[in-house]
Amino acid sequence: MPKLTKSTSIWDVTVIGGGPAGMMAAIEAGARGKRVLLIEKNAGLGKKLLITGGGRCNVTNNKPVVREMLSQYKEAGKFLFSTFMQYGVKETIDFFARYNLPFIEENEGRLFPNTQKAESVFNVLQQALQEHAVTIQTGKKVAVIKKAGTQFSVELSDGEQVLTQAVVVATGGTARPETGSTGEGFQWLAELGHTIHAGSTSLVPITVAEDWVAVLGGVSLPEATLSIYCNGTKRHKATGKLLFTHIGLSGPLILNQSKLIGDLLVEGDVVIKIDITPTIDASVIQAELLALFTATPNKKLKNVLGEIIKPALVTPLLQSLMLDGDVPVHSITAANRKRIGVVLKALPLSVTGLLGPDKAVATAGGVDLTEVDFKTMESKIIPGLYIIGDVLDINRPSGGYSLQLTWSTGAVAGRHV
Ligand SMILES: Cc1cc2nc3c(=O)[nH]c(=O)nc-3n(C[C@H](O)[C@H](O)[C@H](O)COP(=O)(O)OP(=O)(O)OC[C@H]3O[C@@H](n4cnc5c(N)ncnc54)[C@H](O)[C@@H]3O)c2cc1C
């Protein structure tokens, strides 16, 4: 038994990291009568949670059938079965409903709080932590975790020591470090014998070479189709919501393909072609252009195109074709009219890179999944140590799947500690 000092406190469970995973674990452990300490280094809990979903928080995805939900996590899905059977989408919806926070569904099953505010999600968690008498210490940074006989000694950077029967590591990944997710947990876990897979950015916007995207910053296309080429060969196609930024592209369609794009950039040149009008056939677009050009020969090219696509897209699109939008359409040659039709179905952009972890929604990498018992979230290497949330090496698409992982792994750990 380690020597107790004045600044030593003793707990059943110590949860490190006050993000959604840590809060959920603390709530569930508290609900089972455990004496729980939740330690967070920021001045307050849930700093990242409060900026999720553009401040609206995409809490989960409406896929209550476990197998359907797990298919979204690809190879990691097979590890998560017993976790999600115990606490999946249904249990998450029920939990928030108990605190009078129903969800509303948006595109592709995304569920948001009906208040449209991440703060409401945060407030529910705060209320539940209080209800289950969880002791919260904020502004306290954990420096190291040591195994001390059958207990753990959690040492804080201010010299305090916490003795605890069980410890839950919920320190997050490395995306958006300014929110507190700086990857310290990986270091302790490696020291305790866990394998940590190197991180790379996984859900992150991309940058492109074309300057003209600058004027499109903030413009979104609710449904666009993206074809990804590497060294001239088509490698993938996907459809979804796309957002232009001042330096490139973002939105779920891009975020979900960013890992693949990053991998292809290692192989060579990556060009993406955007189909701005995916619901209209290429031949129909050409026919429509011809009909419009014939019906209104004196109308300016930019005004005619504004009838087919979002007006904001017209100038950059013409710039990419090096065509003057102020000329009447009767002066446009048939060859140039065809080029316009082609670009509407396949606007090319040269990818220059991915943004860094400071702009990422999630990072790939983390604790090797074979080293965790997913029925309990306990480490298979160190009994009494639990690992949850973004610390785990689980790739997932955007759409509420990240937060669902925190609710599921957090709740299961809290029920077994
Ligand atoms: C901009 C943005 C938007 C997002 N939107 C969505 C969305 O709408 N839907 C969705 O599903 N996912 C979203 N995500 C992803 C989601 O936010 C994360 O998956 C989730 O927050 C991970 O939760 P976590 O509890 O595992 O870790 P985190 O939320 O990263 O929390 C970890 C906590 O541990 C603390 N900590 C770290 N080290 C220490 C230490 N040494 N001592 C004490 N405390 C420490 C940190 O300060 C932090 O508060 C978004 C992410 C970003 C960046």
Q: What per-residue confidence (pLDDT) applies to 29? A: 98
pLDDT at 4: 59
Residues 229 and 181: beta-carbon distance below 8 Å: no
Instruction: Please tell me if the CB atom of residue 30 comes closer than 6 angstroms to any atom of ligand 1.
Output: no
The reported pLDDT for the residue numbered 356 is 85
Stretch 197-213: mean pLDDT: 87
Rounded distance from Cα 366 to ligand 1 centre (Å) = 14
The CATH code that applies to domain 8-201+358-416 is 3.50.50.60
d(CA 194, CA 65): 32
Interval between CA 263 and ligand 1 midpoint (Å): 24
- Specify the pLDDT at position 8: 84
**Does the CB atom of residue 61 touch ligand 1 within 6 A?**
no
Tell the residue nearest (CA) to atom 46 of ligand 1. 180
Percent of the chain's residues with pLDDT above 70: 98
pLDDT tens, residue by residue, 279-319: 899 999 999 999 999 999 999 999 999 998 989 999 989 98
pLDDT at 5: 59
Helix (H) or strand (E) segment spanning residue 189: helix 184-191
CB contact at 8 A, 319 and 350: no
Mean pLDDT for all residues in the chain: 94
Atom index in ligand 1 nearest the CA of residue 360 equals: 53
Ligand 1 contact, 40 CB (< 6 A):
yes
47 lines ligand 1 (CB under 6 A): yes
Atom of ligand 1 nearest to the CA of 20: 25
Longest dimension (CA), the chain: 90
Split at pLDDT 50, 70, 90, the class of 1 is: low
The answer to whether the CB of 402 is under 6 A from ligand 1 is yes
Long-range contacts of 318-324 (CB under 8 A, 24+ apart): 319/212, 320/210, 320/212, 320/347, 320/348
Q: What is the pLDDT of residue 2?
A: 56
pLDDT one-digit tens code per residue, 314-347: 998 998 899 999 999 999 999 999 999 999 999 9
Q: What is the mean pLDDT of the segment spanning 386-414?
A: 96
pLDDT digits (tens, 9 = 90+) for 131-173: 999 999 999 999 999 998 899 999 999 999 999 999 999 999 9
3 pLDDT tier (thresholds 50, 70, 90): low
Q: Which of 23, 38, 171, when mutated, tests ligand 1's pocket best, judged by the most ligand atoms within 8 Å of its CB? A: 171
pLDDT value at position 320? 86
CA dist 103 → 66, 100, 114, 190, 203 (Å): 19, 10, 5, 38, 24
Average pLDDT over residues 383-392: 98
Q: Where do the structural domains in the chain lie, given as residue ranges?
A: 8-201+358-416, 205-355
Per the structure block, which two tokens stand in for 100?
């009078």
Between the CA of 19 and the centroid of ligand 1 the distance, in Å, is: 5
pLDDT at 411: 98
Under the banding of pLDDT at 50, 70 and 90, the label for residue 6 is low
Ligand 1 center–CA 190 separation, angstroms: 20
Q: What is the mean pLDDT of residues 109-132?
A: 98
- Least Cα distance to 316 among 259, 359, 276 occurs for 276
Atom of ligand 1 nearest to the CA of 23: 25
